[in-house]
Amino acid sequence: MKATIIGGAGRVGSNTAFALQMDGTLAEIVLVDVLREQAQGEALDLRHGAALAAPQRIRAGGCEDAAGSDLVIVTAGLRRKPDESRLELVNRNVALFRGILDDLRRVPLPESAILIVVANPVDVLTYLAATEGPFAPGRVIGTGTLLDTARLRSLVAEDLGVDATQVDALVLGEHGDSMVPIWSSAAVNGVPLRSFPGFDAAKQQALLEATRKSGAEVIRLKGGAGYSIALATREVVRALALDRRSVLPVSSLQAGAMGISGVALSLPTVLGARGIAPVLDIAASDEERDGLLNSARVLRDTLDNLNKT
């Protein structure tokens, strides 16, 4: 399988390339970036590790080198300028992303090719790609709240002093402030979180706040997330490349599950070789359902206000 990472010289792109190299599930990885030399350097550095990792072909290239890719991963994004509003940044990133989609329209890709959107605002960009092409809506996946879910699981595990891989707690909705934790089904290897010794409402609130602020805290300390989002993206790639039918909280164009349609946001989604199959309608409390509808409204507002600055 061949994957192309657009934005491959950046922090998220290069970290993702490394995570995918370590995984060994792909035969070929191409790093595309406007910083051509930086991309060449990243590819060279990764290739030097080939003897110690997996026999993959890793190289830098232009968008035309995405030809024949089974997976296209977009991590290219811009950072906020001083004094810039959130919406101005959204508009600049939307323009950049549409430019990348235009470039991809000119590249021969298999009909089965899948687009993985990592760049922010991930739900907005996922919506645009799913509604504007060139990929079929069922083959456009945003990493969405997969990272928020991983963060919450890790924070719960650290707090309770248990194995993070055994903490099962979903975050759904917008990858942003209106994200919704699904506490009603949270558990540690089958033990309901609400009955776990030492867990209470105050702790729950504190852990949610810490999850919400995690992204900003990482930006403050090191400029932005890299390793954790790379591992989240690897999880999506594994599900697709190995047809694992993994249930992951990822973003896609919604068409009615949980009463939501016409926006892209994260709901539990089965991912396999053909992409999304299907999005699950799950049991949730009234508060959680309302939270998801609120996330949908927030995202609809952003879409309605695009290019109005």
Kindly write out the interface string for residues 28-47 of this chain, putting x where it contacts ligand NAD by CB under 6 A and - elsewhere: ----xxxx------------
CA 206 – CA 211 distance, rounded (Å):
9
Per CB under 6 A, 241 contacts ligand NAD: no
Nearer to ligand NAD, 160 or 236 (CB): 236
Q: Which of these segments, 5-13, 47-55, 284-292, 298-306, binds ligand NAD (CB under 6 A)?
A: 5-13
Q: What are phi and psi of 260, to 5 degrees?
A: -115, 135
What is the DSSP-derived secondary structure letter of residue 51? G
User: How is 61-120 classified by DSSP, letter by letter?
Assistant: E-GGGGTT-SEEEE----PPPTT--HHHHHHHHHHHHHHHHHHHHTS---TT-EEEE-SS
Nearer to ligand NAD, 13 or 61 (CB): 13
Give me the residue whose beta carbon is nearest to ligand NAD. 10
Containing 137, the helix (H) or strand (E) segment is: none
Q: Which of 4, 7, 140, 235 is in the footprint of ligand NAD by CB under 6 A?
A: 7
Helix axes of 286-304 and 122-132: crossing angle, nearest 10 degrees: 70
64-93 binders of ligand NAD (CB under 6 A): 75-77, 79
Catalytic site includes residue 175: yes
Beta-strand pair 261-272/275-279? antiparallel
CB 267 within 8 A of CB 149: no
Q: Which of 155, 207, 225, 258 is in the footprint of ligand NAD by CB under 6 A?
A: 225
- Active-site choice (2, 139, 175, 212): 175
Min CB(11)–ligand NAD separation in Å: 4
Single out the residue of 184, 182, 192 nearest to residue 145, CA to CA. 182
Q: Which of 2, 3, 4, 12 is in the footprint of ligand NAD by CB under 6 A?
A: 12
Q: Which two tokens stand for residue 57?
A: 């072909």
Nearer to ligand NAD, 143 or 254 (CB): 143
Site of interaction with ligand NAD (CB under 6 A): 6-7, 9-13, 32-35, 75-77, 79, 96, 99-100, 118-120, 122, 143, 147, 175, 224-225, 229
